[in-house]
Amino acid sequence: MEIESTEKLNFNSGYSDANGLKMYYEIYGQGKPLVLIHGGGSTIQTNFEKVIPLFAKNRKVIAVELQAHGRTTDRNSDSTFEQDADDVATLLKNLNIEKADFFGFSNGGTTTLQIAIRHPEIVNKIILGSALAKRNGVPDWFWDFMKQAKLENMPEQLKAGYKKVAANPNGLQVMHDRDAKRMLNFKDIPNEQIKSIKVPTLIIIGDKDIITPEHAIEMHRQITNSELAIIPGGHGEYIGEITTIKPDFKESQLVIPMIEKFLNEK
């Protein structure tokens, strides 16, 4: 169905059966496929609303919502990055997309790592936005914070973003609990798996990110064919993630030209 979005962009949206989920997706624009994968507690819009119109000028953008997030259903099992990766791969198969570029932000970056590890045949290039591969990639306070994670501490913009689109507003607690449990149980991705990634990779973090510069540098060294960018700003500010938007926000602060340059390099 054709829907007019807030950006006056035409897009198609739908649901696809992916490993027991009814998985929601939106498709914008024409050209080479670029898959956008959101972070924890997020929807397509709360992470990517500012950048989709920019990417869609030159590409076919496929934005997805993962298990228990936004409009996608939950399955009766814990969320894992490996399962999310398999779900995205299944969705693309259902959409007859054989190969794509992938941009994952935050938890979506970790999912993108798993796609490159588990499904390298469907990957052209990957962009890892504030992605975590090791527990030591964030400060110690992060893990203490996750142990005490409560729904009331979730950013209001993310709660509102979920309620705006979710078929079942009561799913908010489920999404929160799935994300919190996944982080508490997070295990380091083994070095051999990270080093197995051969596709061109762009690693991006903010200089005031949750992800440490040291972690981004370590990933950069382990992924042979990678580039690294550390951008002024916080977690997701470089894509205009909803919790980072300030009154003086300008499109020119976003890293889309840099990402497009990376994607267009031969």
- The first and second tokens of residue 207, run together, are 């200089």
- The first and second tokens of residue 65, run together, are 């919502």
pLDDT at 231: 97
Query: Burial letters for 180-201: b for 16+ Cβ neighbours within 10 Å, e otherwise?
Result: bebbeebeebeeebbeebebbb
pTM of the predicted model as reported, rounded to 2 decimal places:
0.96
- The first and second tokens of residue 247, run together, are 């009154």
- The answer to whether 193 and 140 have CB atoms below 8 angstroms apart is no
Run means of pLDDT, 10 residues per run, the chain, 266 residues: 53 97 97 98 98 97 98 96 98 98 98 98 98 97 94 96 90 96 97 98 98 98 98 98 96 96 95
Show the domains of the chain with their CATH numbers: 2-264 (3.40.50.1820)
- The answer to whether 66 and 42 have CB atoms below 8 angstroms apart is no
pLDDT at 40: 97
